Structure 1
Amino acid sequence: EFCNIFGTLLPGSKARLFPPEGLSVLDGLEIKVAFGDVWKESLGELSGGQRSLAALSLILALLLFKPAPLYILDEVDAALDLSHTQNIGQLIKNHFKHSQFIVVSLKDGMFNNANVLFKTKFVDGVSTVSRHVPLRVRDENKRPETERQRKRVK
């Protein structure tokens, strides 16, 4: 799944896991990344955002292998632009339907894919937390039960 996840998070790219030369997978794994048909020699050739996506792809692949009911991600999108953040949000929403994620983010790409948002503010020396349900989620929940069931069946 690592290869598929990386390709989803960074369209137009490929990634593979290989054992170090002359060793087995029990000795470790190396990540190889290609953009188009050009394979990079090392992760050092990647930008900070690209390295973040490689690491996140590996983590998410491991989570798919051994799922848990709850995950907490703290600003995993900090080094990324909005399009990559959007891809992370969509991937989490589509591939982890039976898990809950608490994601700390300052970017709309994550917010747009959330079922519930908790916004924090510090006003006049007081921290407040407010709960928001995005409009698309509210609209989905207002549909008659039979329509929601039909959508799940498709």
Structure 2
Amino acid sequence: MKKILLLNGPNINRLGKREKEFYGTFTLEDIENDVGALVQKHGYELDCFQSNHEGELIDCLHKADGVYKGIIFNPAAYTHTSIALHDAIQSISTPVIEVHISNVHQREAFRHVSMTAPACHGQIVGLGALGYQLAAQAFITD
């Protein structure tokens, strides 16, 4: 099983256009291409999915169980609100690493709490697009 899933939540499709002071100028396509190139060098495949809809993310997590070595997941704003995503992550055996582009702990207080992180294998915050590559590297070398 040499596959990794890159999963992104709401508004990540707007990268490069929104709040550049927090998220930079790179796009979701840039992230997908960079992570894809990294995992391919190590003989892995990368599947990518982004949705602005919580239920679609839950369905994707359920379908991913047992199919991937790991899931790189940026739940975006759902991080701070979604018990349903927490439960979906907890219900699967495939490990999930939560990634955030900005340092959520330097932002508004409501962003300091992650509902999803306790169900995840690990969390990477504040390293920009590099965080996704580090998560991929963790699965590759694990």
> 1 or 2, which has the higher strand percentage?
1
**Bigger Cα Rg:** 1
TM-score above 0.5, yes or no: no
TM-score range, shorter chain: 0.3 to 0.5
TM-score calculated relative to the size of structure 2: 0.35
